[in-house]
Every structure is written in structure tokens, then in C-alpha cells.
Chain A
Amino acid sequence: MTTMQPKALMSDRYQRAFTIAVIVLVAGWHVAGAGGQLLHNRPDYSSFAFQCAMWLIMALAITAGSVLVLRGAPAWCPAWTVAVIALAASTAAAVASPASQMLAVNWSWGTAGWTGVLVLLRRRFAELAAFLTAEALAVLSVQVQDGLNRTDLAGFLAVLAWSTGGQLAVVAGVRALDTAAGRAAAAARSEHAARERAATAEIIQAARQARWLALQESVVPLVAELASGTADPGDAQVRIRCATQAARLRRLLAEGDDVTEALVHELHASADVAERRGIAVEIETAGPLPQVPEPARRVITDAAIAILTAARSQARITLAAIPAVTAGIAAGIAVSFVADTGAVIGLSAARGEVIIEQQQDGVMLWAEARWNSR
């Protein structure tokens, strides 16, 4: 896995699946349960058309509620609008039911409760409790209006117990699954972070390895030659090799530093050895500079080391941003070197994204390395 996203989305995907399960449950109840009951008791209603209209209103409320919850946790206002519409339609249907057979023929009670569950599922539990209580009170008051006897009251309590019990069980289940999914996602995230850390450590290790190998190729043979006496420290060429390798070692140390202007920092490090040799090195920047990637910085500091090693007494290094053609953002950088090298230095004209130009005027060498961001 290369990115953080899929893991982070995992708990979202589970939550969505639970939401869809609740929608199927509520819609299924409304169509099969409530709809079946409505058709079955068709002859008992004083106005079947009115009951059908209420059923349709509730179907619309469920549809609207489904859209809301599929878009994410609904806000207070739309959630309660849907719930109250369902409750109003359900109560109207109950009022219009024949008084004596309320519990037997009323199809709407359960659906109103399920619609409330659907839209208030992931809101505070107190809201759902308030809604279910309001619904129970509405049904009870309709029955009181119709004349409540002991049998009706027992029936009411039984229906209340199993329907509210079922609704609360579904809510509790979904919430438990939400929590479990959240934990699983968090665990996956921390596992992913651990893997990222391991990958970063590997990259750092590889970079160290590469540096070590680079030293094996350049510094180690030189030290071996000096130790065995095959390289003579009195030889000017050997001294130049020593100065170059010393500057590279110094730069290697500077490359690991976390600084804002890495190139300037590494140029200072590259100049350090030359300054110890008594070369007066000036480093000046003009204005804000763009960030230069490490491979390009290496080409530029390599040129600096070569020129500073050849400088006899003085060197000036300047850095200036190359303005972009179309906007105010710096598009590149021009690093120049003016030094009394006495001759042109063997630098390749272009390496990677860096172009190097040179011009010799008497003992003074001018060289410029240009890097352009793409």
C-alpha cells in the first residue's frame, strides 16, 4: 500500500455498508410489513385512499432520509424534518383508523419509528430516545382519544416493547459495528505509519550506503596511497586530490543537515576547506532563492569544489534567482563562480538539469551553473 487514503477510508466504507443495511431494513419494513398490512386490512379503513396517501408520504420521507444519510451524517434540521413528517403522517393515519381496531389495523406505527432510526442513527442517542418517546405518546394519545380499555393498553405495551426493542437493538448494533470499524481503521493506520517509518529508515540507510560507497571509490584509495607511500604529499597533484576529497567529505556532512537554504549551506561547507588553505571566499545571494533538489545541488557543489581547489587566492560565489517568464515566482537559480584559477577547469557543460558555462579572462575564471525548475 503506497498511500494513506484506502486505510483511512476503511471505517467510512464500513459505516456506509451499515447505513445501507438500515435503509434496506426500513424500506423493506415499509413496503412488505406496513404495505402488506395496509392491503390486508383494506376493507376496514373508513378511507383507504387517505391511508394510501399517508403511506406514500412516509415512503417519500424514507427516500429523503436515505439520501440524507448516504451523503454523510445529516444535520439537525433536515434529520428532524424527515422524522417529524413521518411521525405526523403516521399519527394522521392512526387517527383515521377505526377506533376499536387500532392495534390490529394500524400499519404506520412501526414505519414512523424506523424512519426515526434511519435519520437519527448517528446523531446523539438522546435525540432518538426523544423521538421514540414522542411517537409512543402520539400513539397512546390517539388510543386515549378513541377510549382506552385494559386489553388495548396491554396490546399497546406489547407492541411498544417489541417494536421499540427491535429499533433500539438495531441502533445499538450499528453503533457497536461503527466503533469496531473505527478501531480496525485506527489499527490499520498505525500499521501503515509503522511501515512508512520503516520505508523511510530504509531510504536513509540506502543513502548512507551510497555515500559510504562513494567514499570507498574516492577517499579510501587516496588514504591507502598516502599510507603506503605511493602518493607523495609533496606532489601538487596529490595535494589537489586531498583538498578535493576533504571538501567532499565536508559537503557530505552538510548534506544531512536540515536547513532552509540547503544549497547555500552546502556551498559554505564546500568552501570551508579552501578557506583553511587561505583562499578568501565570498558567498553572496541576491534575493529569495528557490529550493534546488539534491542531485542538482550535488552538480553545483561539485563545480564549486573543483573551482575552489584550483583557486590561488580568491573566489567569489554568488547565487541569484532566475525570474520566471510568466510569473513572479523564481523559476531557477544562477550560481556563479569568479576565481583566480589561471585556467579553465574541467567541468562538463551539462549534467542532469544543470548547465555550466565558463569564460576565462586572464587569470580570472568565470563559471556559471544554471538550474531551471521544470
Chain B
Amino acid sequence: MEQPVRVAIIEDHPVVTEGVASWIRSDPGQRVRLVHTARDLAGLRNVPPPSVDVVILDLELSGELVTTQISRLVTAGYRVVAFSGHSDPVIVMETLDNGAHAYVSKEEGRDHLVEAVLAAAADRPYVTRSQARAMLADQGPARPALSEQERQALLLWFQGMSKASVGRRMSITENTVRQYISRARAKYAATGRTAPSKDALLARAIEDGVIRPGEIVPYQSFAHADRLSADRLSEDAPGR
């Protein structure tokens, strides 16, 4: 049996910390172990990166959004799973761009938080419905080009179908659905701001065969289609 994943919770409301702790305790496989809780980011000083695998971070601490602090945490070597009451796609996108492994809204917590922590510990993508929503809504100029299948899988997942239902709907296996969604997430890890956590996600995705280096192409506006060379961009991407 593998060692349980060690997590720290940064959350200013003790009742939420207590709730998260109870989800962790009720995991049948006991795959996650809570090693530290703190009410602010300063509380992380006692647990430097090697002693904690994943930080569950509330995005709003004492009334302040800490999305911009995430890049500092991931540079220090933490893996961050954001857990927030905010589900605004812009905040979700900023959180991911700053290097968080995953985003779990408070409504999604019970079903997804433990799984998201486990995926983050292995540097594997985990896409919640609120993340899918933010990716579908993204109009940013640096957004990656998603294939029609990836977009459709993300859309059906966002709509609320189970992955098995998405598979039936698209006439593909549930595993292929996961592949499409993970690939879309990996493409996002390859764009925007650089962060060690994003590099780790991408490297793992390539290693797992989720994505090939040549598939990472940024979104091309039709206005610029002739100016961008897909070959040149795919050469750049893996070296980031």
C-alpha cells in the first residue's frame, strides 16, 4: 500500500476546515492524511514543501483574495488545490494560470476535493465542472486551441453528465472522455505564465501519453492564422 498523501489546509473558517477534515477521514481508502491546518499563508512556514504533498487553499483569507500568492507557493515547491466559494470563471482561470493544480468550488467539495488532491499529488490533471466552465468561457488571447472532441467532452462534463454518460453520448469509452478532458487541461498548463507546477503537470501528461508535444498549439485567431506557424510553436512548447 502506498503512503497516504499529506495535505495542509489553509482556511480561515474553522468550520470549513473541520468539514474538509471529515471528507478526508471518510475516504474509504484513507488515501489522504491531514498533517497541518492554518488560518493564513504564514502558517505554512512550519511545513516546508517536502513535508507536505498538497496544500488545500481557500482563495479568500480574511476577506482578501490570494490568487496572486499562488505563484509564490508553487515556486516554493508546494502543489496547490484551490478550494473556494468563488466560481467566477475569471478567478478560476487566474488561479490555474498562477499554477494551482486544480480548482474545486465549495459546492463540488464533497465529490471532488479528495480526488483532486490525489491527482495533484501525482501531478495529474483533475478538471472539476467549475474548471470546465472556466475553460469553455475563456476568451483570453493566450488560450490554447482545443479540438472539437475536447471541447465537446468539456461541455458535456460542465453540463453535469457523469463521465460514463459523456462517453455514451459521444460514442467513446469513459477512459477516452478522461483523456480528452485531461488533454484540454494539459494544453492550459502549457500556456500563459510559467510555473514549476504547470511544467510538472505537462511533463506528467506527456509521460502518461495524454498529450504529445506536437499537440500543444495556442489558440489561433483567424486573423492571424497565416502568421503563426504550428511547427515553430510546437518546438517551443516542450522546452518551456
A327 to B89, CA, bound (A): 22
**Which of B117-125, B155-163, B183-191 lines the interface with chain A?**
B155-163
Contact assessment for B137 and A338 in the assembled complex, using a CB-CB cutoff below 8 Å:
no
**Which of A116-124, A127-135, A237-245, A360-368 lines the interface with chain B?**
A360-368
Central interface residue in A285, A320, A326, A364, by most chain B CB within 10 Å? A320
Contact of A361 among B138, B155, B168, B222 (CB under 8 A): B168
Contact assessment for A327 and B222 in the assembled complex, using a CB-CB cutoff below 8 Å:
yes
Asked if A229 CB lies within 8 Å of chain B CBs, one says no
Asked if B229 CB lies within 8 Å of chain A CBs, one says no
Contact of B160 among A318, A328, A359 (CB under 8 A): A318
- Number of B interface residues in the complex (CB < 8 A): 22
Contact assessment for A366 and B136 in the assembled complex, using a CB-CB cutoff below 8 Å:
no
Asked if B101 CB lies within 8 Å of chain A CBs, one says no
Which residues of A does B touch, CB under 8 Å? Answer: 282, 284-288, 316, 318, 320, 326-328, 334, 336, 338, 359, 361, 364, 366, 368
Asked if B26 CB lies within 8 Å of chain A CBs, one says no
Contact assessment for B165 and A359 in the assembled complex, using a CB-CB cutoff below 8 Å:
yes
Asked if B46 CB lies within 8 Å of chain A CBs, one says no
* 0/1 string, B158-196, CB within 8 A of A gives 1: 111110110011000000000000000000000000000
Other than A286-B133, A361-B164, give 13 A-B pairs with Cβ distance below 8 A: A286-B136, A286-B137, A316-B160, A318-B160, A320-B159, A326-B222, A334-B155, A336-B160, A359-B168, A359-B169, A361-B161, A361-B165, A364-B165
Contact assessment for A366 and B222 in the assembled complex, using a CB-CB cutoff below 8 Å:
no
Asked if B3 CB lies within 8 Å of chain A CBs, one says no
A16 to B182, CA, bound (A): 70
Cβ-closest 3 pairs across A and B: A287-B137, A338-B160, A336-B159
Contact assessment for A320 and B158 in the assembled complex, using a CB-CB cutoff below 8 Å:
yes
Q: Could you count the A-B residue pairs with CB atoms below 8 Å apart for me: how many are there? A: 60
Contact of B158 among A286, A328, A361, A366 (CB under 8 A): A286
B205 to nearest A CB, angstroms? 23
A320 to B132, CA, bound (A): 11
Chain A residues within 8 Å of B159, by CB: 316, 318, 320, 334, 336, 338, 366, 368
Q: B107: nearest residue on chain A (CB-CB)?
A: A282
Q: B129: nearest residue on chain A (CB-CB)?
A: A284
A327 to B138, CA, bound (A): 15
Chain A residues within 8 Å of B162, by CB: 361, 364
5 contacts between A and B (CB under 8 A): A285-B137, A334-B155, A364-B165, A366-B160, A368-B159
B194 to nearest A CB, angstroms? 26
Contact of A320 among B136, B161, B169 (CB under 8 A): B136
Contact assessment for B136 and A287 in the assembled complex, using a CB-CB cutoff below 8 Å:
yes
B49 to nearest A CB, angstroms? 34
A328 to B107, CA, bound (A): 32
B69 to nearest A CB, angstroms? 27
Chain A residues within 8 Å of B136, by CB: 286-287, 320
B177 to nearest A CB, angstroms? 13
A30 to nearest B CB, angstroms? 58
Chain A residues within 8 Å of B138, by CB: 287
Chain A residues within 8 Å of B161, by CB: 338, 361, 364, 366
A368 to B166, CA, bound (A): 13
